[in-house]
């Protein structure tokens, strides 16, 4: 039996999905304006992280400062001290520095190495391989952060792994040009490295949030600051303003509008990304991105920018990949307990079933407690 369970805190992954979707649409418009791969986009992304983290962090600080009182209705309140974190401040900032560095390295790998090997290879391969991120993140979370993975989550990860292997095999089967198979192998390697770095970012942030009790928006602010410094240093080699200055003047206004929305959507995406990581787990955060993938490959299929094979082979190739991505989304929903499977005890450790069992225990103990209290009152009389 299958049931759909909706939890209140799903609001945060939902908003993350919305902002990711909006930024992806905006990125498509930017690519159509022939401005994709620019270092300016990386600068805007890190600037969005810094501004979003700074504004929310300052708002939280001022809000808590106003609410901090020593008395309430002439009752002296005990003030809780600041929570001590087990790691030194130097180590915490070093970890944030490394997260920003891995984030910047993703840009280098994506724009320089991955784009170099695309050529005649499918442009959506990077999108269709996104589940690598989920699997690597799950591995690190289980062995490094000691986050438990229950039966329904293990089932989901194994199913996602099978889908990933199938997608890779299909890519080699449907690749008609023998020379491209070498480029395909190299491209898959760089995609794996890119998602490997991304996984480190998610796990570093989770470690800082859970074990060092760091404010998520403080982390976001410092990450953005370090990222801006990396981008500025790299701009000595590649000045992003040159591409903007030499851009077509007739399309400049459209580009500026798209860049402005890219900044806004990046602010929203990064804010809800780190909150989702805090409330759930890095795997839940990474699985949220997978919900976009079927829509993206459908767009590239309809627009003719990918899946350029001729005849029935093109439709078979697209359909198999589309179905596999849908299966990955279903498995992600099972992992996040939006879909609950009532078989093989896979529902036992889900949030909804734990809540139901807890309520039953409370309802069972309550009458017994009331009876004891009644007996005590009778003895007193």
Q: Tens of pLDDT along 328-365? A: 999 988 888 878 888 888 877 787 777 777 777 666 55
Please give the Cα distance from 263 to 137 (Å, whole number).
Answer: 27
Distance from C-alpha of 42 to C-alpha of 230, rounded to nearest angstrom? 10
d(CA 119, CA 304): 15
- d(C-alpha 297, C-alpha 82), whole Å: 48
- What pLDDT is stored for residue 187 in this prediction? 87
Spell out the SS3 assignment of 19-69: HHHHHHHHHHHHHHCCCCCCHHHHHHHHHHHHHHHHHHHHHHHHHHHHHCC
pLDDT of residue 380: 46
What's the CA gap between 247 and 234, in Å, rounded? 21
Rounded to a whole number of angstroms, the CA Rg of the chain reads 25
For the cut 60, the answer to whether the pLDDT of residue 122 exceeds it is yes
What is the pLDDT averaged over residues 255-266? 94
Res 120: pLDDT: 64
Alpha-carbon separation of residue 44 from 27, 39, 82, 220, 225 (angstroms):
12, 9, 34, 14, 12
Whether 145 and 203 have beta carbons less than 8 Å apart is answered as: yes
* Range among 3-12, 31-40, 203-212, 338-347 with highest mean pLDDT value: 203-212
Tokens 């589940």 locate to 131
Angle between helices 131-143 and 178-211 (to 10 degrees): 40
pLDDT digits 0-9 by tens, 233-254: 988 887 877 878 888 888 889 9
Residue 71, pLDDT above cutoff 60: no
Kindly state the average pLDDT of the residues 317-338: 90
Q: Say which range, 65-69, 200-204, 210-214, has the weakest mean pLDDT.
A: 65-69
- Give residue 378's pLDDT band: very low, low, confident or very high (50, 70, 90): very low
pLDDT at residue 130 above 60? yes
Return the higher-pLDDT residue of 316 and 66: 316
The predicted pLDDT at position 54 comes to: 94
Q: Which residues pair with 75 in a beta bridge?
A: 72
């Amino acid at each position: 039996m299958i049931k759909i369970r909706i939890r209140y805190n799903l609001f945060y992954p939902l908003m993350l999905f919305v902002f990711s979707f909006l930024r992806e649409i905006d990125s498509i418009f930017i690519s159509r304006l022939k401005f994709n791969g620019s270092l300016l986009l990386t600068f805007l992304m890190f600037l969005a992280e810094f501004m979003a983290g700074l504004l929310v962090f300052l708002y939280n600080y001022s809000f808590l400062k106003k609410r901090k009182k020593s008395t309430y209705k002439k009752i002296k309140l005990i003030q809780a001290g600041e929570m001590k974190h087990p790691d030194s401040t130097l180590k915490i900032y070093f970890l944030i520095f490394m997260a920003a560095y891995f984030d910047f390295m993703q840009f280098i790998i994506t724009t320089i190495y991955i784009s170099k090997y695309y050529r005649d290879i499918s442009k959506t391969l990077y999108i269709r391989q996104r589940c690598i991120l989920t699997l690597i993140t799950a591995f690190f979370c289980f062995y490094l952060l000691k986050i438990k993975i229950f039966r329904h989550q293990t089932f989901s990860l194994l199913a996602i792994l099978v889908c990933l292997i199938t997608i890779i095999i299909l890519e080699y089967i449907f690749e008609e040009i023998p020379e491209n198979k070498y480029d395909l192998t190299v491209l898959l390697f760089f995609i794996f490295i890119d998602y490997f770095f991304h996984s480190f970012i998610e796990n570093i942030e989770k470690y800082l949030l859970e074990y060092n009790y760091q404010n998520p928006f403080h982390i976001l602010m410092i990450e953005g600051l370090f990222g801006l410094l990396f981008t500025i240093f790299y701009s000595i080699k590649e000045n992003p303003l040159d591409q903007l200055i030499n851009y077509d003047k007739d399309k400049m206004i459209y580009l500026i509008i798209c860049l402005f929305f890219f900044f806004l959507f990046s602010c929203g995406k990064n804010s809800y990304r780190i909150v989702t990581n805090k409330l759930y787990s890095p795997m839940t955060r990474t699985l949220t991105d997978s919900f976009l993938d079927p829509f993206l490959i459908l767009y590239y299929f309809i627009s003719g920018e990918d899946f350029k094979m001729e005849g029935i082979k093109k439709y078979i190739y697209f359909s198999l990949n589309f179905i596999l991505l849908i299966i990955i989304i279903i498995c992600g929903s099972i992992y996040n307990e939006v879909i609950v499977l009532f078989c093989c005890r896979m529902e036992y450790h889900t949030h909804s079933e734990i809540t139901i069992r807890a309520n039953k225990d409370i309802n069972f103990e309550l009458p017994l407690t009331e009876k004891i209290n009644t007996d005590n009152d009778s003895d007193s009389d």
